[in-house]
Amino acid sequence: MEKKIFSGVQPTGNLHLGNYLGAIKNFVDLGKNAKNECIFCVVDLHAITVNQDPKKFRDHIRETVATFIASGIDPKKNIIFNQSQVSAHSEAAWILGCTARMGWLNRMTQFKEKAGKDKEKASIGLFSYPVLMAADILLYDATHVPVGDDQKQHLELCRDIAQKFNNDFMVENFLAAPEPLIQKEFSRIMSLKDGLKKMSKSEPSDYSRINLSDNQDQIVNKIKKAKTDTLPMPMEIKDLEERPEARNLLGIYSSLQKKELEKSVQEFSGKNFSEFKEILSQALVDKIFPLSLEIKKLLSEEAYLDKILIEGAQKANDIASKKLKEIHKILGF
């Protein structure tokens, strides 16, 4: 069965290994499958739930597109666009916000984490973020959405919104409830400084992450200084349960090598971390450094990147505006 796939990445700038292994690498595989119809969105509207520097924001959007292409996503075979250039997303988000219930949004754990203790100071945009995400997906009749563990709840909300809209207006299956495409392992890459925290550009220490812009020496140095425990490498996969840093580094290696975690554990069983780190560093250099060079090359071709975004927005708008017109008709607009 052909899959219609929608997914997006926020243009926050300085993309890192977590973005690549957790999302973009998977996008590449999905986009290469001729049976899939893929739409990859630079979700700039989502990104402004936190303050963005307007002088740098356009560059961050281009950087995200450059990373898509450098990683292997073909803009001729897949739609690549930025969300703000298709106005149907914002309008559909308002309409679906009138269908979604406050109680549903109050249960979103990611809002609680990002808003912190003082929820009164959080923006409405941060609170209603999952409704915009639902609009993104439902406008394209997406059948499948690649999500990490931290986004599963949002996709469940999307399904609830679709079902309620269909029921409220008696239009069976008009909004298609999408299925999740969850990577079996390693969709959540953790900090190199703390195996219990997600890798993030917001963490103060640059040594907590591998940036896709890092050179060879930076990659090697960061892995050398990555946090580990004092024990040798685990003997069995069950030993990883209480060793988050070991699990994270072995997970990164397994994802890069396209190996099962259990086989990686067997490969390095009982060895010293220093020996493993040398091999992991080389695997990262082999994959990330060429990617970094290609991203930099593409970033020097702004007109080319802008052309991809313009053409992608036109294709996306053709699909989304048609769906929005059908929604208007259902609502009586």
Q: Give me the catalytic one of 3, 32, 114, 164.
A: 114
Q: How far apart are CA 280 and CA 221, in angstroms?
A: 12
Q: How far apart are CA 158 and CA 108, in angstroms?
A: 12
Backbone φ and ψ of 5, nearest 5° = -115, 130
Q: Give me the catalytic one of 3, 164, 201, 315.
A: 201
Scanning the chain, the segments in alpha helix (DSSP H) are: 17-19, 25-32, 44-47, 54-71, 88-97, 102-106, 109-115, 124-138, 152-168, 216-224, 244-257, 261-268, 273-299, 302-331
Q: How far apart are CA 26 and CA 146, in angstroms?
A: 8
Per the annotation, the verdict on 201 as an active-site residue is yes
Tokens 């915009």, residue?
Answer: 132
Per the annotation, the verdict on 114 as an active-site residue is yes
233 in Cβ contact with 271 (< 8 Å): yes
Q: Give me the catalytic one of 32, 197, 198, 259.
A: 198
**What six digits make up the tokens of 157?**
């909300």
Catalytic sites, residue numbers: 114, 198, 201
